[in-house]
Structure 1
Amino acid sequence: MSDSINIALRFALYLDLMLLFGLAAFGLYSLRGQERVSGVQLPFAPLLLITAALGGLLSLAAMACMAWAMSGVSAWAELWPHIEMMVVQTDVGLSWTLRMAALLLAGFAVTLNHRWPSASLGLVTLAGAVALATLAWAGHGAMDEGSRRNGHFITDFLHLWAAGGWVGALAAFALLLRQAEPALAVLARTLTGFETAGAVIVLVIGVTGVVNYLFIVGPSVEGLLDSTYGQLLALKLILFAAMLVFAALNRFHLSPLLEQARQSGEHGVAVKALRRSMVLEFCVAVIILGLVAWLGTLSPAME
């Protein structure tokens, strides 16, 4: 039961913090000027404030769950000293404190959106990047030592940020397409502009994914599929390939179709097709995050 709760909390934190970082980053690199004001194109203020607050609550729950699993006690009066010890005396606790501080900064930065939208989104992106990076201390990299540990952490950071950028962009496009009459000029421009960012994201995810595999498993794949870890990893790779297919469909077919439809004035079919594609791609991304949360609790050497 405790394993299921741990996986659920890890999954929720991955999704929440990736949305916090990715949505704010999308506003910076895709939108311009007053388009970054909450409500003009995207409801930044409520979305980012909710994700920052939810990230804090989930972090509190995750710390309590970890202390409960490690100590074996259930009464709050007995559990609290263990939580205090973990927060103050462990690397996981220090990373947790840093995450909470980053989430507080993000929540404050959101309140500045209407006065200074670019600065606000910049601060949220920075705070979200820090908060997202702290999840690496709950992964396999924390078990390494020395220079190997540092290299593993850097790879984890890059992997998390790239994945967060992709998840946030998918959510942003889904929200833009959800409007009854989406601003087609903005939508077409952001879709075209995401081509470069998307290519960089896919490249970083691919390279860091391979490096992470080498850190965790090593260069050999022999017997990997005999373990639960290997089977989940294989499923994750299949789903990632499916996301690449969706991304290629959007890039080479649906985005040009939208541009043609925008010029002809009949855009209903193109918008519906993009909506379906983005929703499906986002759903696949959510499933992958669930697998990542599960994989983080397993070791390839367990079986």
Structure 2
Amino acid sequence: METAVVIARIAQFIGAAILFGTPLFFLYALPKAGVGSAMTLPWPRPVLGACALAVIVAAIVYLCSQTAMMADDPAAAFDRETLLGVLNDSAMGHAVVARLAAALAALVACLVLKPGRILWAILAALGAAVMASFAWTGHGAVDEGLHGLIHTPADVLHLLAAGVWLGALTAFAILLCAPGRASLESQAVLHRALEGFSGIGSAVVAVILVTGLINSWFLVGLAGIARMGASTYGVLLLVKIALFAAMIGLAGLNRFFHTPALARGLDAGDAVSALKTLRVSIILETLFGLAVVLLVAILGMLAPVAAQ
């Protein structure tokens, strides 16, 4: 059951991040209409619809598996009364209900609305609701009083900033690997999108750093720093920090070296080499991001250093 919970958490995180961050990326980084706009791309609506469906399925699996763990009885995962009790009487149940409602609304929107800025705005809002719901069942939700008033909002901002980053990485990765990427028009749109994300990316990194420090204050504390290597939570948190640092390094290379190289290639009429380098960097950054999501899913199941 623990494995099922972790897998379900990973699927929910990834689906929610793309559902939130990718349509948001369409709004601030791609043209409103014409060549290169998200409306002209074939993949956004199917991908976002699939992410909404993945969140729904994974949330149900998470609810059933977590209920079985709470009851210490595998049969509880399929017991209607037990499941309803968890949904009605626990913070986890309330979070799952909100998550399911937002994801279902997103799926319906993908099915009935045409691609465009209205759809992207609706999906980004619903995706943000799904992302924020994870804070209800995170470590920050346990704190009360002033600690809770600081820790929970920091958790929400941390999750939303991560969603902006991962959603943009997903869009970049698909744009760099999609058919037609070799045309000069597509390359020019990609360059404009990279420049459009540069300022957003800096703000995202700043938010993640600040909220990460706040969360670490509550989950590790000054006294717990020396004990980081003595617990599974501490070791995994250190690995997560290392991966995040690697992502920042790759993002810096993309912004200050690969994006200008793409601009020079476009000016010269040959950006093939710059695109190959950029593609490798973006895919690697995306893989590191997915590894961070895996660690987040596992860390959420463990007692933090400060509680040990």
CA distance in 1, matches of 2:81, 2:164: 37
Contact 1:42 1:175 in 2 (8 A): no
CA distances 1:172-197 after superposition (whole Å, capped 9, x unpaired):
00111113432011101010111100
Contact 2:99 2:133 in 1 (8 A): yes
Question: In the TM superposition, what are the counterparts of 1:57-206 in structure 2 within 5 Å?
Answer: 57-75=57-75, 79-111=79-111, 113-114=113-114, 117-182=116-181, 183-206=186-209
Call closer, same or farther: CA 1:190–1:147 in 2, change over 3 Å: same
Gaps of 5+ in 2: none
CA distance in 1, matches of 2:199, 2:158: 17
CA distance in 2, matches of 1:44, 1:98: 24
CA distance in 1, matches of 2:215, 2:64: 28
| Secondary structure at 1:75 match in 2 | helix
Call closer, same or farther: CA 1:33–1:78 in 2, change over 3 Å: closer
Which is worse superposed, 75-84 or 39-48?
75-84
Which residue in the other structure is 1:251 paired with? 255
Contact 2:67 2:77 in 1 (8 A): no
The runs of 4+ residues in structure 1 deviating greater than 6 Å are none
Cα displacement (A) at 1:156: 0.7
CA distances 1:89-126 after superposition (whole Å, capped 9, x unpaired):
112211211111111221222235426x1111101100
CA distance in 1, matches of 2:264, 2:70: 59
| Secondary structure at 2:15 match in 1 | helix
Contact 2:138 2:300 in 1 (8 A): yes
RMSD (CA atoms):
1.8
Equivalent residue letter for 2:289: A
CA distance in 2, matches of 1:107, 1:42: 17
Contact 2:5 2:61 in 1 (8 A): no
Identity fraction in percent: 34
Call closer, same or farther: CA 1:41–1:136 in 2, change over 3 Å: same
Contact 1:20 1:125 in 2 (8 A): yes
Aligned length: 301
Call closer, same or farther: CA 1:38–1:107 in 2, change over 3 Å: farther
| Superposition TM-score, scaled by structure 2 size | 0.92
Call closer, same or farther: CA 1:191–1:23 in 2, change over 3 Å: same
